[in-house]
Amino acid sequence: MEIQTQSISVSTPARQEFFDITDEVLRVVAESGLAEGLVQAFTPHTSCCVLIQEESEDITYYGTQLLLQDTLNVFAKIAPPARHEGQYLHPGPIHIKNAAELRGEHPSWGLNTDGHIISSIVGRSESIPVVEGAPVLGEFGRVYFGDLDSVRARERTVLLTVVGR
């Protein structure tokens, strides 16, 4: 039985953005020598997500795939971007006080409520079958890591786990 987890880092900007991590997924499966099983991409960050989508070729001025920008636009309808306190219940006063005193965070860094909500709806991982040594992603399928926290640039982590033989 083969089971292992590797970690990759992604530098993200101060806006909601997706990153194509398919090549890393393929690399981890190849290096593990997995023939049959599953590969999971998971992010531990509570304002991030992982999803699978078609490569849609055209891009925005920022280099974002049009289909992923459409997806961000739908996210913004579901949970409008947090622009000031009081728009959502979160962040509350205890959270803001602790963030400042214990972690030196500016109150405005708590304005990522929309990212947290969308993250929990979309989900933190995708698990893909591996058949004859390759993840089954279809002709155009790509694995994307999304950072939905638009408040500040961050260094983020994605865990890639293979299970099988």
Position 109, amino acid:
W
Do residues 43 and 8 touch, judged by C-beta distance below 8 A?
no
Q: Which of 51, 100, 134, 151 binds a copy of itself (CB under 8 A)?
A: 51
Task: Work out how close the CB of 14 gets to a copy of itself at its nearest, in angstroms, rounded to a whole number.
Answer: 19
Picking from 95, 75, 73, the residue whose alpha carbon sits closest to that of residue 85 is 95
- In whole angstroms, give the CA distance from residue 17 to residue 115: 11
Of the CA atoms within 13 Å of residue 59, those in its CB half-sphere come to 9
Task: Work out how close the CB of 53 gets to a copy of itself at its nearest, in angstroms, rounded to a whole number.
Answer: 5
Q: Which of 81, 105, 134, 161 binds a copy of itself (CB under 8 A)?
A: 161
Q: Which of 54, 85, 100, 154 binds a copy of itself (CB under 8 A)?
A: 54
Site for a copy of itself in 68-127 (CB under 8 A): 69-71, 73-74, 77-79, 88-95, 98, 113, 116-117, 119-127
Sequence-ordered list of residues with C-beta below 8 angstroms from that of 31, at least 6 positions apart, any chain: none
User: Would you say 27 or 161 has its CB closer to a copy of itself?
Assistant: 161
- In whole angstroms, give the CA distance from residue 99 to residue 130: 42
**Strand order from edge to edge, sheet including 48-54:** 17-20, 141-147, 48-54
- In whole angstroms, give the CA distance from residue 158 to residue 21: 9
Q: Binding marks (x or -) toward a copy of itself, 11..50, rule CB under 8 A?
A: -------------------------xxx-x-x-xxxx---
User: Would you say 27 or 99 has its CB closer to a copy of itself?
Assistant: 99
Residue ranges in contact with a copy of itself by CB under 8 A: 1, 3-5, 36-38, 40, 42, 44-47, 51-54, 56-58, 60, 65-67, 69-71, 73-74, 77-79, 88-95, 98, 113, 116-117, 119-129, 131, 136-138, 140-141, 159, 161, 163-165
